[in-house]
Amino acid sequence: LSPSQFLRRQQVLQLYRRILRAVREVPAEADRRYLKDWAREEFRRNKGATDEDAIRMMITQGNMQLQELQRTLRLAKS
């Protein structure tokens, strides 16, 4: 792995962990299971991606989806 590929891999793994941690806070078991399965499938489906621009775009989209989930969870708690 080149240094940039290594750093990109670290970003992807960090995003995956953050998503799974956020999913743990979802109150309904069925929703939690659905979101966990969805996240796993999305990351698995894109595992072979090699285009740096596409990977950056997917990381950005993943971060936006994570922020939306966190925002929704905060609203549900208040």
Provide the pLDDT for residue 41.
97
Low-confidence residues in the chain, pLDDT < 70: none
Q: What is the pLDDT of residue 48?
A: 94
Residues of the domain holding 18? 3-76
Q: Show Cβ contacts of residue 73 under 8 Å, excluding neighbours closer than 6 positions.
A: 22, 25, 26
**pLDDT recorded at residue 78:** 86
Q: How many domains does the chain have?
A: 1
Strand intervals (E) in 1-78: none
